[in-house]
A and B are shown apart, each in its own frame.
Chain A
Amino acid sequence: EPEVTQTPSHQVTQMGQEVILRCVPISNHLYFYWYRQILGQKVEFLVSFYNNEISEKSEIFDDQFSVERPDGSNFTLKIRSTKLEDSAMYFCASRSWDGNTEAFFGQGTRLTVV
């Protein structure tokens, strides 16, 4: 069964460093998303991406964040200069073109900023 794959599963980085979280969405999907979950809090929407551009972003998704689909298969989230408060589980999701279809989630990348 097709699945969304995220790498790495865990990443530890020093404050101020840049990190790139990687996702391989399901191959025929057209909509891509990043969500994050700070420990003990709810899952929050960060950004959606369609047709090679951001279609919607939350107030969390400031200039420190960027997304890219560099090669038609990967979908990446870059955090330019990490802060302690960026420590969270980051989930990638993808879905097909029809608004009624389900979003499929990866298993997440746990980012720890020290």
Chain B
Amino acid sequence: KQEVTQIPAALSVPEGENLVLNCSFTDSAIYNLQWFRQDPGKGLTSLLLIQSSQREQTSGRLNASLDKSSGRSTLYIAASQPGDSATYLCAAYTGTASKLTFGTGTRLQVTL
């Protein structure tokens, strides 16, 4: 059974810092890995999708990498801003139904 873990659970950084969020998964037989953002009480906003054949994806200040063999993905956020404050979730696609298994998230606070 796929287990997805995210470290750290919470992170507070001053504005402008670069930061890395970590995600690990136990079953390397994944199709894709996806990073989401969730604001309090809100839905899931897709940030980046990394397909199994890719090693990284970039969108603006965000860069996500995937190492299937070690069961890890990282989300790098450059020059953090207060508007980046949210919970970041990673999720792995596995199984014949390509269902998503989510991590517990990293709650990020970017302070002025």
Inter-subunit contact A102/B46 (CB<8 Å): yes
Q: Is B91 positioned at the interface, with any CB of A under 8 Å from its CB? A: yes
Query: CB-CB < 8 A to A107: which residues of B?
Result: 42-43
Residues of A within 8 A of B52 (CB): 100
Q: 10 new A-B pairs (CB below 8 Å) besides A43-B102, A104-B46?
A: A33-B97, A43-B91, A43-B100, A50-B97, A55-B97, A91-B44, A93-B100, A95-B98, A102-B46, A108-B44
Asked if residues B95 and A106 are in contact (CB atoms below 8 Å), the reply is no
Per-residue CB contact flags for chain B residues 89-105 toward chain A (1 = under 8 Å, else 0) read: 10101011111111111
Binding site for B on A (CB under 8 A): 31, 33, 35, 41-45, 48, 50, 55-56, 89, 91, 93, 95, 99-100, 102-108, 110
Q: Is the CB of A31 within 8 A of B98?
A: yes
Binding site for A on B (CB under 8 A): 31-32, 34, 41-44, 46, 49, 51-53, 89, 91, 93, 95-105
Shortest distance between the CB of A93 and any CB in chain B (Å): 8
Across the interface, name the chain A residue whose C-beta is closest to B98: A99
* Chief secondary structure at chain A's binding surface: strand
Note all chain B residues with C-beta closer than 8 A to A41: 104
A45 with B100, Cβ < 8 A, contacts A91-B44, A105-B46 known: yes
Question: Which residue of chain B has the shortest Cβ distance to A58 in the bound complex?
Answer: B99
